[in-house]
């Protein structure tokens, strides 16, 4: 049996819990006694579940002080007989019915009350005449040599302890390991103290019964006490699983070793000596050398961590000296590095993509990886006949099933399908697709692959290629480009590991498992390069009914269309002809279905008379087919599906297919169509692409599944192991992301939802999409979505989108093209301010449209008319707006330099309007407006860890649990400061005025800053004052406030108050570590070398530049044209009378330069500019909606 007694010094923080869980895992006690739990029994019962122990009895703490608990395993016959604040006494019965006593002891720490502990021991001694074992924190030493450092122990106190042992016939059982079980963890020799306060004692009868006993003083972990581990009798042997074959992969933790890069380079260059070595063999040899290096030099990581802890223990046991303390610091740093590697080790196996950085969450990643392994394991399946398949038969069964599924059964006439497909690939598209691939495309593909995504059969993840691209990149590019440009794929590149992932919590049949392929990175590079090339032409090739794979098309388009159509079906109660919607799980049939509609064999559904007909919607292999409820149309659909199945070899999954009818479809027609199509499921509650296609009276009930999913995420047992920063990331990246998809289509909140504005924006800027055409025809056929109003009978999704339009109006601005759609006095079209409308009153002006302000001859502004109509401020702003010649006006988003709408930007606008409104209300009522105007974003932009940012946020909100705040919230607690014990504790006192904190400010040389900050009236004002200081001082103060709050919390929990020097040293330690994490600042070359390179033969290079004054909004431009020999062929300069921005001026320079080149008859031109934003604008379409968009589009077309 193994018994552990430990003074855990409070269990109110993550490190203490992690330390206890590690103790439980490594030592596996049968009985665990804890003192100073500082919690009540209810909380400890939760801890019992975490520890995996079946039974518990606890003595509650008093005012966050003291507290005892004993836990024991199932199968241990243990009965608690008595307990007090100093003990828990119990009787343990062995299998042979032999009984003995164990008492967990927590001694009084105050000298004047130690006799209470000794009296308790005497009382227990007289209670039962049984073999007796005592263990715990006695808070006293027996002899002087059991203490080092600090004031000498009183002989009277030691004598009292020795006397009670004699009275109770108790004998010290000795110990293995460090004799000192408690230390104060001070960092200077003069104040460092260590003592043997924890021990195990037994009476004579117990020692005779259990001669084989060993007491170990364990690792203190995050407590200042060591656990006392008592091993009774022979230790039960653990059963371990036998070794199994595993696929060796590259370990990301190796990158933490300084020698890793050299080992890779050495192994790579050595393998290159053999010219016949293939790329896969090169990688294999490097991986083999790394594993040999890991085995022979590095050793097993867990053992290295264990050895590092052992070295640290040896150092701690040495005599007190400054040299020993320095070495202890070095060893702690070494141990921390190894624990970082352990963190990476489990992170790589967890395959978690949302928690990328922050505090170390090794326990979470370990649990996450272990849970994935357990959950993804398949031990048994049920075959088609209902029989159970397990053991050796399982692998054969799965293999046979997938072989029969993947082998093609195609045998039809291919022309029946291809004859329906219209040619859509032009000669230019084909030439583009057949153009040779480049090395830049390979690197771009590599960047898009996740670093630690599961590798293929070669065991090499993407992070290996990225880290060592300088060494292996040329060979990889050469091999990949050889395949892409027509060569054969080398053997092994497309070897794939098939992994079965459960779709349900308890998979029983093979259909409950989803196969995924683990491909090699080399194969992924080939496929991603081809996919990136295809992306360019996909919009012109793939049918508008297919919303997957095409940039710019969203899954929400299909969801909205499906919802509108089902809304139409559900409300169609008149007419002789019914309608049906059939949901299939299969791949594309677009061409055949379109031909059937052209031939009027299958007629789609119109949501109104002017709307386009829709007879199918596809998203990847999920299909929704829409038609009239007629038997001849069902027969035609069945024929088309049969042809497609025979030709393609793909089979419809009838079990996952369902059919929906309108209310005016009779039962006889429904049964006939279901029989014809062999589809049995008929239900309105079906989800399409994860969202409901029909919403009933109760919106709460319809979307209840979102709440359940969020609850499962945040309540998962692995997630409870995250640090506070990790939990913040969990909420932001996972929990908040769950409802985002639904909120893009439906208003599921009580207030405005920014995601709905995204869909409104798409309808405004992409009216030619299928979704846009249908919704416009039904809801705003003769107007804009901006003018659309809610009315009776509209669908829930459309009503939701109209909620987002209101926010959209707050940031909309029109880019001027021909000016015909823009109204001068009411529309937002001047890019400035909040309203973006003229400040000039209209008066008697007869002008209405922006096109009336343009010169019909030049196509530009009629400057004289503009000056005559508007005030000077308006006129200058209008004349700076570029005009798009020959194009229509375009909507854009004002609060983005590129004119692009985003939920993030919309959220900022909504918050700003809310804060402005709050400020106006506060000002009207005579209150403070600082809260509405406080720049919260600066907190999250500070270069400090997440936990400190969270602390600052709580500090600004005055939500820190200082004692006055607890009293204000009706929580019974003392209000006296736990540090000085003199005044009531609020934030102003604990951080700036407490006598203990004043000394720390002085030692940190921040006394002047303290005096300034102490005068502030709120946390927000304090932080605003801090932001006015230098960046170095800002970080120093913020880290100091956080560190002092940590020290205060320890004192509040009953621990000793930390010395000023220790706290200040800790601040400098954290500042040094943060600086290392940021890395050294990159030194920028003061005079970078710029060299002009000639263009290829037969081409010309046009260099352009512009100068711009933001004050006068004037500037100048210049251009030079050279040939491949560097000969100057043309030079041009000119003035820029008016420009809206520097990018505007640079775009004008490019425009004038290209016009001159065009006049000279030059067609093959390379445009070169030193304006990086202009280069990005010309090579992407991300700037097309910017203020300068019209100027950028024209040069890009040239």
Block mean pLDDT (10 aa), the chain, length 1198: 90 77 86 90 84 88 85 91 94 90 93 91 90 94 86 84 88 84 83 92 84 84 88 50 58 82 89 86 88 76 79 74 76 77 68 49 51 59 82 82 67 64 78 87 90 86 91 92 89 86 75 85 90 78 61 58 57 52 50 80 79 72 78 87 76 76 81 86 60 56 56 46 58 53 50 54 69 76 77 71 76 88 92 85 91 88 93 90 82 83 75 67 50 74 84 89 86 85 90 91 91 90 91 90 91 84 81 64 46 85 91 89 91 87 86 88 86 75 66 50
- Measure the CA–CA gap between 882 and 1138, rounded to whole angstroms: 10
Report helix angle 1007-1014 to 1031-1052, nearest 10. Answer: 80
The CATH classification of domain 1100-1197, taken from the options 3.30.930.10, 3.40.50.300, 3.40.190.80, 3.30.420.10: 3.30.420.10
Is the Cα dihedral 292, 294, 298, 300 positive or negative?
Answer: negative
For residue 349, what is the enclosing H or E element? helix 322-350
Phi, psi of 72 (to 5 degrees): -150, 155
pTM of the model: 0.51
- Measure the CA–CA gap between 675 and 668, rounded to whole angstroms: 11
Q: Could you count the other beta carbons within 10 Å of the beta carbon of residue 306?
A: 13
Where does 2-232 sit in CATH, by number?
A: 3.60.10.10
DSSP conformation letters of 1079-1094: -PPPPPPSS------P
Bridge pairing between strands 497-502 and 1165-1169? unpaired
Contact yes or no for 1156/1148 (Cβ under 8 A): no
Please list the residues that pair with 232 across neighbouring strands: 213
* pLDDT reported for residue 677: 85
* pLDDT reported for residue 352: 54
* pLDDT reported for residue 723: 58
CB contact set of 634 (below 8 Å; sequence gap of 6+) = 580, 627, 672, 673, 676, 677
CB contact set of 609 (below 8 Å; sequence gap of 6+) = none
Phi, psi of 931 (to 5 degrees): -65, -35
CB neighbour class for 728 (10 Å; exposed up to 12, middle 13-18, buried from 19): middle
* pLDDT reported for residue 201: 93
């Amino acid at each position: 049996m193994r018994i552990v007694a430990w003074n855990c010094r409070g269990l109110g923080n993550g490190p203490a819990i992690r330390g206890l869980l590690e103790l439980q895992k490594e030592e596996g006690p049968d009985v665990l006694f804890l003192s100073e739990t500082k919690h009540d029994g209810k909380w400890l019962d939760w801890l019992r579940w975490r520890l995996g122990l079946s039974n518990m009895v606890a003595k509650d703490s008093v005012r966050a002080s003291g507290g005892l608990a004993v836990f024991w395993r199932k199968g241990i016959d243990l009965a608690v007989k008595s307990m007090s604040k100093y003990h828990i006494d119990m009787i343990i019965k062995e299998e042979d019915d032999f009984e003995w006593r164990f008492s967990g002891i927590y001694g009084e720490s105050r000298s004047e009350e130690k006799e209470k502990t000794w009296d308790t021991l005497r009382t227990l001694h007289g209670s039962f005449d049984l073999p007796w074992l005592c263990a715990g924190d006695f808070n006293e030493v027996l002899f002087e040599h059991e203490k080092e450092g600090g004031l000498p122990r009183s002989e009277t106190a030691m004598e009292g302890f020795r006397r009670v042992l004699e009275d109770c016939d108790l004998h010290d059982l000795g110990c293995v390991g460090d004799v000192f079980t408690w230390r104060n963890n001070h960092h200077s020799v003069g104040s460092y103290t260590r003592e043997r306060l924890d021990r195990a004692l037994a009476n004579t009868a117990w020692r005779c019964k259990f001669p084989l006993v060993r007491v170990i003083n364990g690792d203190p972990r995050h407590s200042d006490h060591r656990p006392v581990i008592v091993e009774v009798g022979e230790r039960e042997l653990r059963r371990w699983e036998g070794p199994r074959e595993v696929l060796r992969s590259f370990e990301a933790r190796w990158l933490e070793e300084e020698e890793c890069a050299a080992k890779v380079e050495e192994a790579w260059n050595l393998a290159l000596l053999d010219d016949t070595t293939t790329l896969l063999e090169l990688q294999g040899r490097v991986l083999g050398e790394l594993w040999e290096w890991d085995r022979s030099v590095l050793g097993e990581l867990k053992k290295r961590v264990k050895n590092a802890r052992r070295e640290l223990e040896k150092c701690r046991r040495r005599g007190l000296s400054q040299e020993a303390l320095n070495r202890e610091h070095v060893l702690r740093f070494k141990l921390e590095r190894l624990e970082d590697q352990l963190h990476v080790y489990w992170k790589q196996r967890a395959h978690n993509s949302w928690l990328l950085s922050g505090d170390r969450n090794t326990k979470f990643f370990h649990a996450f990886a272990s849970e994935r392994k357990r959950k993804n394991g398949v031990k048994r399946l049920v075959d088609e006949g209902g029989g159970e398949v397990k053991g050796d038969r399982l692998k054969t069964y799965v293999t046979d099933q997938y072989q029969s599924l993947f082998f093609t059964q195609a045998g039809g006439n291919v022309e029946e399908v291809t004859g329906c497909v219209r040619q859509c690939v032009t000669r230019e598209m084909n030439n583009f697709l057949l153009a040779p691939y480049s090395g830049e495309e390979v690197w771009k593909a590599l960047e898009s692959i996740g670093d630690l995504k599961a590798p293929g059969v070669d065991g090499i993840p993407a992070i290996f290629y990225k880290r060592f691209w300088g060494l292996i990149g040329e060979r990889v590019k050469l091999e990949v480009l050889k395949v892409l440009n027509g060569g054969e794929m080398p053997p092994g590149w497309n070897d794939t590991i098939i992994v079965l992932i459960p779709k349900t919590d308890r998979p029983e049949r093979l259909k409950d498992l989803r196969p995924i392929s683990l491909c090699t990175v080399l194969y992924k590079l080939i496929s991603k390069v081809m996919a990136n090339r295809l992306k360019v032409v996909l919009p012109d090739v793939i049918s508008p009914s297919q919303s997957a794979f095409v940039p710019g098309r969203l899954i929400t388009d299909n969801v909205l269309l499906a919802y509108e159509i089902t809304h139409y079906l559900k409300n169609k109660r008149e007419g002789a002809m019914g309608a049906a919607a059939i949901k299939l799980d299969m791949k594309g049939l677009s061409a055949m279905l379109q031909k059937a509609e052209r031939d009027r064999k299958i007629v789609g559904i119109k949501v109104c008379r002017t709307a386009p007909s829709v007879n199918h919607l596809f998203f990847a292999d999920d299909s929704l087919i829409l038609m009239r409820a007629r038997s001849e149309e069902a027969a035609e659909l069945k024929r088309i599906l049969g042809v497609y199945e025979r030709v393609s070899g793909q089979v419809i999954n009838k079990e996952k297919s369902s059919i929906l009818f309108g209310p005016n479809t009779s039962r006889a027609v429904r049964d006939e169509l279901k029989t014809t199509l062999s589809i049995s499921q008929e239900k309105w509650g079906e989800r399409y692409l994860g969202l409901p296609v029909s919403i009933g009276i109760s919106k709460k009930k319809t979307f209840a599944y979102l709440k359940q999913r969020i609850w499962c995420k945040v309540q998962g047992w692995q997630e409870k192991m995250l640090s506070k920063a990790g939990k913040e990331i969990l909420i932001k990246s996972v929990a908040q992301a769950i409802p985002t998809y639904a909120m893009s289509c439906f208003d599921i909140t009580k207030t405005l939802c920014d995601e709905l504005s995204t869909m409104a924006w798409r309808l405004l800027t992409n009216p030619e999409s299928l979704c846009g055409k249908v919704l416009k025809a039904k809801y705003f056929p003769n107007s804009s979505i901006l003018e659309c109003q809610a009315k009776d009978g509209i669908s829930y999704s459309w009503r939701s989108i109209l909620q987002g339009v209101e926010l959209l109006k707050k940031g909309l601005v029109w880019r001027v093209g021909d000016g015909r759609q823009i109204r001068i006095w009411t529309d937002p079209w001047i890019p400035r301010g909040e309203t973006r409308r003229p400040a000039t009153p209209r008066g008697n002006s007869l002008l209405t449209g922006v096109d009336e302000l343009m010169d019909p001859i030049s196509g530009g502004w009629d400057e004289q008319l503009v000056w005559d109509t508007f005030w000077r401020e308006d006129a200058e702003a209008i004349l700076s707006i570029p005009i798009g010649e020959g194009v229509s006006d375009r909507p854009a988003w004002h609060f983005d330099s590129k004119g692009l709408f985003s939920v993030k930007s919309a959220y900022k606008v909504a918050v700003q309007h809310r804060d402005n409104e709050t400020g106006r209300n506060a000002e009207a009522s005579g209150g403070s407006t600082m809260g509405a105007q406080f720049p919260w974003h600066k907190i999250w932009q500070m270069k400090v860890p997440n936990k400190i940012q969270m602390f600052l946020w709580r500090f600004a909100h005055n939500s820190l649990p200082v004692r006055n705040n607890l009293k204000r919230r009706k929580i019974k607690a003392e209000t006296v400061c736990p540090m000085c014990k003199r005044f009531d504790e609020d934030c102003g006192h604990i951080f700036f005025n407490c006598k203990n904190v004043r000394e720390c400010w002085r030692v940190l040389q921040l006394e002047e800053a303290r005096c300034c900050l102490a005068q502030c009236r709120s946390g927000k004002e304090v932080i605003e004052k801090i932001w006015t200081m230098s960046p170095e001082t800002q970080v120093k103060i913020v880290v100091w406030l956080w560190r002092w709050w940590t020290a205060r919390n320890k004192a509040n929990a009953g621990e000793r108050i930390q010395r000023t020097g220790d706290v200040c040293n800790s601040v400098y330690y954290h500042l040094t570590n943060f600086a290392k994490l940021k890395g050294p600042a990159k030194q920028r070359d003061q005079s970078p070398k710029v060299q002009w390179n000639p263009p290829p033969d037969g081409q010309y290079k046009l260099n352009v530049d512009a100068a711009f004054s933001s004050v006068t909004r004037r500037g100048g431009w210049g251009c030079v044209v050279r040939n491949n020999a560097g000969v100057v062929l043309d030079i041009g300069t000119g003035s820029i009378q008016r420009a809206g921005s520097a990018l505007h001026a640079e775009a004008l320079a490019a425009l004038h330069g290209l016009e001159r080149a065009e006049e000279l008859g030059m067609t093959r031109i390379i445009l070169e500019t030193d304006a990086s934003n202009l280069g990005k604008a010309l090579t992407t379409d991300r700037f097309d909606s910017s203020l300068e968009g019209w100027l950028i589009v024209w040069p890009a077309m040239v």
